[in-house]
Amino acid sequence: MAHNNTFGIVGGDQRQIYLARSIAADGYPVWISCLENGKEAAGLPAAGLKELLDRCSVVILPLPVTRNGKTLNTPFSEEEIVLDDSFASLFLGKTVYGGMMEKLYRSSEVWGKLDSHDYYAREELMVGNAFLTAEGAIGMAIREFDGALNGSRCLVTGFGRIGKALCLGLKGLGAQTDCCARRAADLTAIRSLGCNPLRYHELRDAYDVVFNTVPAPVLTAQALARQRPDTLLLELASYPGGIDLEAAKRLKLRVLDAPSLPGRMSPKAAGELMKETIYHMIEEA
CATH of domain 129-263: 3.40.50.720
Give the pLDDT mean for 186-206.
97
- Per residue in 11-60, pLDDT (tens digit) is 999 999 999 999 999 999 999 999 999 988 889 999 999 999 999 999 99
Give the pLDDT mean for 268-283.
97
Query: Can you give the pLDDT at residue 238?
Result: 86
Distance CA 130, CA 105 (A): 25
**pLDDT greater at residue 206 or residue 4:** 206
Distance CA 2, CA 86 (A): 29
Question: CATH homologous superfamily of domain 7-121?
Answer: NAD(P)-binding Rossmann-like Domain (3.40.50.720)
Distance CA 132, CA 270 (A): 8
Domains 7-121 and 129-263 share a fold: yes
| Domain-wise residue ranges, the chain | 7-121, 129-263
Query: Can you give the pLDDT at residue 3?
Result: 56
- Of 222-226, 257-261, 281-285, the one with minimum mean pLDDT is 257-261
Query: Can you give the pLDDT at residue 52?
Result: 97
**Residue 263 binned pLDDT confidence (cut-offs 50, 70, 90):** confident
Bridge partners for 203 per DSSP: none
**pLDDT greater at residue 285 or residue 213:** 213
